[in-house]
Each structure stands twice: as C-alpha cells, then as structure tokens.
C-alpha cells in the first residue's frame, strides 16, 4: 500500500549547524513530493516541493534531494535557527491524480535546536 515514513522521529541540532531530515517512501508511482513544516498549534506550512523528474531543488536555506532508486527523500536546512524548531513532514501525491488531489503525509520528524 501507499506509505511515506521517516527514519528518525526526533532530531536535535546545534544552532547554526545544518540539519538533514530523511524520508523513505514506498509508492514508486508517486511523481510529486513536498516538505511541510508544522509549528506547535498551527497548520502545516509549505516549504519546498520536487517533481520526480528532478533529483535536487534549492530554496532559501533549504534543499530537497530525491533519490528514486532507493525511494528516499531528504530535506537539508542550512544554518539552522531557533525558528526552524517544528515537526517536518514529507508528503507525496501519487502519479495519475489530477492537478488537485489528496496529499499522503508521513509521520513527521521533530526538529529541536540547541542554543
């Protein structure tokens, strides 16, 4: 069945260091992947997305890497700041769905920042 899972439920990082959050997905038919950030008491916030025809995409301080061979997705955050503390979800939209369709979320990784 479809599932998106994460290797580590929690990650503690020193402020200023880089953070790497990993995600494994099982649905090889997915063609669109998204990272969301969810702060306590708030809804998920879009961070960055990547399509299956790409292996890397960069945003402001964030980079997403996609390895389709091993069905692995990662989010890299450069120079981690206290405001980056949140739960991060990887998510996918399976291939074949229309332009607007349901998102399948993973279980999340909690990122905490040490001062």
Residues that bind another protein (CB under 8 A): 4, 32, 34, 36, 41-46, 49, 89, 91, 93, 97, 99-108
In the block, tokens 């955050």 appear at 77
End-to-end CA distance of the chain: 41
106-to-30, 78, 79, 96 alpha-carbon distances in Å: 14, 22, 25, 20
Q: How far is the CB of 45 from another protein (least distance, A)?
A: 7
Backbone angles phi, psi at 78, to 5 degrees: -85, 145
CB nearer another protein, residue 43 or residue 115: 43
CB nearer another protein, residue 26 or residue 107: 107
Q: How far is the CB of 80 from another protein (least distance, A)?
A: 22
CB nearer another protein, residue 41 or residue 115: 41
Q: How far is the CB of 78 from another protein (least distance, A)?
A: 22
SS3 state at 5: strand
């Amino acid at each position: 069945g479809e599932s998106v899972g994460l290797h580590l439920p929690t990650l503690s990082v020193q402020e200023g260091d880089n953070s790497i959050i990993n995600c494994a997905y099982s649905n090889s038919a997915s063609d669109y992947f998204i990272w969301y950030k969810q702060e306590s008491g708030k809804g998920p916030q879009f961070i960055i997305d990547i399509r299956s025809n790409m292996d890397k995409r960069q945003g402001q301080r964030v980079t997403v890497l996609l390895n389709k061979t091993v069905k692995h997705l990662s989010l890299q955050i450069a120079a981690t700041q206290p405001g980056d503390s949140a739960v991060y979800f990887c998510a996918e939209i399976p291939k074949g769905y229309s332009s607007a369709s349901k998102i399948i979320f993973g279980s999340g990784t909690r990122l905490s920042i040490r001062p």
